Amino acid sequence: MNHQRRDTLKAGGGLGIFGLLAAAGMIKPEMAEAAWNKAAFDAHKMDDAMSALGAGKPAESADVQITAPDIAENGAVVPVGVVSNIANTESIAILIEKNPAMVAATFDIPAGTVADVQTRVKMGQTSDVYAVVKADGKFYMAKKEVKVTLGGCGG
C-alpha cells in the first residue's frame, strides 16, 4: 500500500476527508438537543453519572466487551470501542472515571442494529473506562484500565 486511505481521499475529493465527513454526517447541536441527557453529561461523580443514566449499580457482564489500548498512544484521542452481545441492547454509554465529566458518549441502539460502537475519547490521566449497556430495561457493565503515561525512556 503506497498511500494511506486519507491521502487517497484527499487527492480524490476537493473537500478532503474532513470536509466529506462533515458534509455527510454533520449533526447540528440543536438536532441532538432533544435526546441529550444533560444531567449525565454534566455529572462530576461516578454515582451521579450512573444514576443520571438510570443505571444505578450495574452488574459486570462478560457479554460486554471494551476494546481500548492498555496504554494510550495519545491521551487526546484514545480509541474506545464497545460490543454488547446481550439481546435487545437499547443503549451503550462510555464513561471515563478520572475525567472531570465522566460520561464521554451515549449511543442509542435501534432495534435490529448490531450493538458495536466506536469513538475517540480524551483522557488526562490513567483511568478505568466503563461501558454501561442497557438491554431489556436492565443495566450491565464492563471496565478496563487505560494507562496514560509520560512516555520516553523505553527500549
Alpha helix (H) ranges present in the chain?
5-12, 16-25, 29-33, 38-42, 46-52
> CB-wise, 32 or 114, nearer to other proteins?
114
Burial 75-100 (b: 16+ CB within 10 A, else e): beebebebbbebeebbbbbbbbeebe
Minimum CB separation from other proteins for residue 86, in Å? 19
Residue 60 or 73 having the CB closest to other proteins: 73
| Helix (H/G/I), strand (E/B), else coil: 2 | coil
CB of residue 78 to other proteins, shortest distance in Å: 11
Q: How far is the CB of 141 from other proteins (least distance, A)?
A: 20
CB closer to other proteins, 54 vs 69: 69
Helix (H) or strand (E) holding 119, with range, is strand 116-121
Shortest distance in whole angstroms from residue 77 CB to other proteins: 8
Closest CA to 94 of 54, 138, 128: 128
Residues that bind other proteins (CB under 8 A): 1-2, 4-6, 17, 67, 69-74, 77, 79, 126, 147, 149-155
Residue closer to other proteins, measured from CB, 54 or 79: 79
Residue 10 phi, psi (nearest 5): -60, -45
Q: For other proteins, which is the closer residue by CB, 39 or 124?
A: 124
Query: Cβ 55 to other proteins, closest distance in Å?
Result: 27
How many angstroms separate the first and last alpha carbons of the chain?
A: 28
CA 155 to chain centre: 31
